[in-house]
Amino acid sequence: MTADFQQSRQALGRRLRELRGPRTQRDLAAILGWPRAKVSKLETGRQTAAAEDVMAWAKATGHPAATEELVARLQGLETHTRSWRRQLRAGHRPVRDVLTIEYEQSAELRAWEGAMVVGMLQTADYACAVFTRYAELHRAPKDIDEAVRARVRRQQLLFEPGRQFHIAMWEAALHADVAPPEVLAAQIDRLGTLIGLDMVTPEYSRINGDGDSPSFVTFWSWP
């Protein structure tokens, strides 16, 4: 998922929240006949809405005139998705090169991941499993070995002075069936190693740093 896509999805979620008004998520879910979790995920950008979802939302919240706007926002999301797929048709390298430039030019980065371990913290085997699944899903060229090597090299930025990484992961990322059990176990061990570094502030599970020392990584998880 590209950063632009996720930002657009979150912007749509904020607009949906605005339209909900004073109703609670539970109340709106009851009107729509949805699980409350779906309302929450759409508003926080953790799930992509379908056209019928936003049309039903506009009607249920008493804002039918907003239907056209919401559908237009959703079409923008679909454009981002098609662009992502076009990039992947040429393999992982074009996407990887753009990300590497953005990372190298940034002093502070923020990442959120709800379904898998964030790329900057992945082991080589875990990254291989992720890239393999992406290649199969998008029918992209399987330039997986090169993509894994590039991702591992990029992780050296974690230890460069003057950089800060704020990384949030949902607990489900530690349980998702993204890789074989032994690979996932090694990945969890890798996270434990990062949290156990000397720069950690235990009460915040934080790897700290400033302009003269290595970057820091902050982990959050919630049920």
User: Residue ranges of the domains in the chain?
Assistant: 3-88, 107-218
Q: Are 188 and 178 in contact (CB under 8 A)?
A: no
3-88 CATH, one of 3.40.50.1220, 1.10.260.40, 3.40.50.970, 1.10.3720.10: 1.10.260.40
Residues in a beta bridge with 111: 167
What would the mean pLDDT of 124-134 be, rounded to a whole number?
Answer: 90
Are the beta carbons of 123 and 187 closer than 8 angstroms? Answer: yes
Q: Which residues 6+ apart lie within 8 Å of 48 measured at CB?
A: 9, 77
The pLDDT assigned to 163 comes to: 79
CA distance 203 to 206: 8
Q: What is the mean pLDDT of the chain?
A: 77
pLDDT tens by residue, 149-181 = 888 988 888 888 777 777 777 777 888 888 999
- What is the identity of the amino acid at 210? D
Measured distance CA(41)–CA(172) in Å, rounded: 14
Whether the CB-CB separation of 84 and 1 falls below 8 Å is answered with yes
> What's the pLDDT band for 210 if we cut at 50, 70, 90?
very low
Q: What's this model's pTM, rounded to 2 decimal places? A: 0.53
pLDDT at 216 > cutoff 50: no
164 beta partners:
108
Region 201-210: what's the mean pLDDT?
Answer: 42
